[in-house]
Amino acid sequence: MNSINNYIDHTNLKQDAIESDITTLCKEAIQHGFFSVCVNPFYVPLAAINLKEHKPKVGTVIGFPLGADSGEMKYAETRFMIHQGAEEIDMVLNIGALKERSFEVIRKEINKVVEASDGNCVKVIIETCLLNNEEIKIACNIAKDAGATFVKTSTGFSSGGATIEDVKLMRKTVGADMGVKASGGIRSLEHIELLIDAGANRIGTSNAVEILK
């Protein structure tokens, strides 16, 4: 297994985050060898400056946290963020469209974000706490077919976060070649290890430094 540090997207998506918080986030990512930082779109240029010539990648969120923007808006936001320096895109799937079984709407929006990403990593947040097992499998299969790089459990802003059972189901559904990111409510080293054992190959947490202590 790789060092756990290499699995981590070091995250600060708080509404009240200020520039110094993002600068600290980037310094911690460099110091600890985290895979990336994940910040709100406004802070992508700042993160890109802080991480220039360093290993951690710059990640951001699209259609966050509700996923209720149109596919065209998600496309435009992704394109702009890539030009601002984002290297990884975590997009929120349209949960309402999934519940309505409007699967072509979801497929098209993921396609648009993948196209806009210019070959960069795209993670599709399916918000597992709002879905039943059938819906989780459908969302995973659509994301895979639409060309996404990862499926991701949660925004961390809904009613629940990453569970071992959901990660196992997602990994079984997408197979060995697609990424599975666990995020939301991850606050212990034991939880991270269990999620990795269940099939996650990326972990999103805002508590990484405290966990690793």
Catalytic residue among 57, 90, 144, 166: 90
Query: Is 181 known to be catalytic?
Result: yes
Strands 36-39, 57-62: pairing kind: parallel
* Closest to 154 measured CA to CA, from 192, 181, 121, 115: 181
The DSSP code for 130 is G
Alpha helix (H) residue ranges in the chain = 19-32, 44-51, 71-84, 95-99, 103-116, 133-145, 164-174, 189-198, 208-212
SS3 content of the chain, % helix, strand, coil (to 5): 50, 15, 35
Measured distance CA(166)–CA(100) in Å, rounded: 21
Give whole-number Cα distances, 191 to 39, 188, 196, 205, 208, in Å.
23, 5, 9, 11, 12
Query: Is 152 known to be catalytic?
Result: yes
Query: Is 55 known to be catalytic?
Result: no
Identity of residue 102:
S
Catalytic residue among 57, 74, 152, 166: 152
Please list the active-site residues: 90, 152, 181
